Structure formats: C-alpha cells, structure tokens
Amino acid sequence: MKHKINSLFAKKRGAALITAVMFFVIISLVVVTGISTSVFRDYVTVREFEKSKGAYYLSEAGSEDAMYRIMNLDAIDAQEVISLDGNKATTTITTISAIKKTIGSIGDILFNTRRVKSTLTVVSGASFNYGVQAGDGGVYMSSTSSITGNLYSTGPVCGGGKTGSNCLNGSSATDNIVTGTVLVATTTSNGVITNITNQGTASMYANKIYSSIIA
C-alpha cells in the first residue's frame, strides 16, 4: 500500500513539473512573440521611412535636373524621367507665361512617393550660384590671387594690390582674376571695381569700373 502511495505522489509530482514547464514555455513564447513583433514593426517603420526619404531626394534630383537644364538653355521635354538605382522620378514642366514655368517632380521608391514643386521666373539681374560674398569692407586682391566663381560685395573690389584711395581712383596696375560675375551692390563712392578681369560669359556690375576687362 505504501509503495502505491509513493508511486501516486511521484506521478503527481511529474505531472506538476510537466505543467510548470509547459506554462514556462507558453509564457516564453508569448514574451518572445511580443518582442519580435515590436522589433519587426520598428524595422518596417524604419525601412518605410528610408524609402520615403529616398523618394523625396529622388524627386529633388528630378527637379534640380530640370531647373539646371532650363537655366542653361539645354534641350528638355515637357515631361522627363530620370532613373537612379532602378527607381524613377517623373518631372513635368508647365509653361505659365513667357517668363514663368513650374516644375513638378514625383519620386517613387516601391510605392513610396514624394512630390516637390518649384517655380522659375525670369527676372533682371545676375545669377550667383556658388558665389563669394563680402561686406562693406570689400575685397582686395594682390600678387597672383584669384577667385574661382562669382563675387558679391557691398564694398569695393580691387585688384593689383590696391588699397585706400588708389583702389577708388582707378590707377594702373596688374589685374587679378575673378572667373565669374562680379557685383558691387552699393551706389556710394565704395561702389567700385578696379583692376579685375573675369572670364567666359561673366559680367561686372558696379557704380564705377576702372581698368578692368569684362569677358
């Protein structure tokens, strides 16, 4: 009889152990599933965000390409498609008037789309992409110094090592080179360009221009 009781207790203890193990496994699976679901959801969110951001940059690329070609009078159709890494941006150019165009570009990466829109208007003045800007103190150049690009200043722009009154009176000296357009944006006595040579299709704008060569 005692042997049977011990055997019964052993079976119950074994069943309890199995039940505890099963509960532990089930709880572990629930916890792991919850964590993995959260991680997977975050992964999907990050991937979708990356695609969305990539689509934006793709649409920007399409818009920038169209603007560059229009501003440089290159051939361009009313609708252009560019492809980067197998993804496409479709750019549509609409002429509003003789001096105004709109550029709409849609970037698409795996059904993630972003749209940008730009307006180009023809106005008088100078274009200063990648220019150097100076304040009222101006720009003074000497020796063989040169500037590659455009120059915007609200003070005098003087080459040939000139300073002070020599800069403002246009006395003879060796020119320094500014490859782009030079614009001195003041009508005061400091609005002077002296002994500067530019290149290509660049221009010069100032109240007074002395001893300079305009390309």
Q: What's the mean pLDDT in 101-119?
A: 90
Nearest to 182 by CA among 170, 196, 166: 196
Note whether 129 and 183 are within 8 A (CB): no
Instruction: State how far the Cα of 72 lies from the Cα of 81, in Å rounded to an integer.
Output: 19
Bigger pLDDT: 164 vs 57: 57
pLDDT at site 188:
85
Bigger pLDDT: 106 vs 24: 106
Q: Give pTM, 2 decimals.
A: 0.49
Q: What SS3 string covers 29-96?
A: HHHHHHHHHHHHHHHHHHHHHHHHHHHHHHHHHHHHHHHHHHHCCCCCCCEEEEEECCEEEEEEEEEE
Confidence of residue 2 (pLDDT cuts 50, 70, 90): very low
pLDDT in tens, 88-104: 899 999 999 888 899 99
Domain spans, the chain: 1-123, 132-210
